[in-house]
Amino acid sequence: MKLQKRLERLEREHQEHVEVLEFQVKAHRDDWEAERSEKQQAVQEKAAMELKVKELKKDLRSLKLKVLCLSLSSLLAGSVTYISPLLRSRCFGTGP
């Protein structure tokens, strides 16, 4: 009878140990999945920010060209007689 009780106690302890291990495995898996999700989100946010920076740089180049063209128009109204064909075409849509 003592052996039976000891076996039952050992089986309970073993089962409790198995349950603790299963809980730990689930907790680690949940943590890993959360970290993976956060990393994926960070990668997506980085890509979105990089695209936004690219768009802003394009807008900035466009605005710089507009300022240059306005300055050029002002100069043309004055005494400037030569404007490069490339600049003229970019600002006024004429030339090569």
Q: Residues 6 or more apart from 21 whose CB is under 8 A from it?
A: none
pLDDT digits (tens, 9 = 90+) for 43-89: 999 999 999 999 999 999 999 988 888 887 777 766 666 667 777 77
The count of other CB atoms within 10 Å of the CB of residue 65 is 13
**How far is it, in rounded angstroms, from Cα 27 to Cα 23?**
6
Kindly report whether the global pTM for this prediction surpasses the value 0.85.
no
Distant-in-sequence contacts of 75-80, Cβ < 8 A, 24+ apart? none
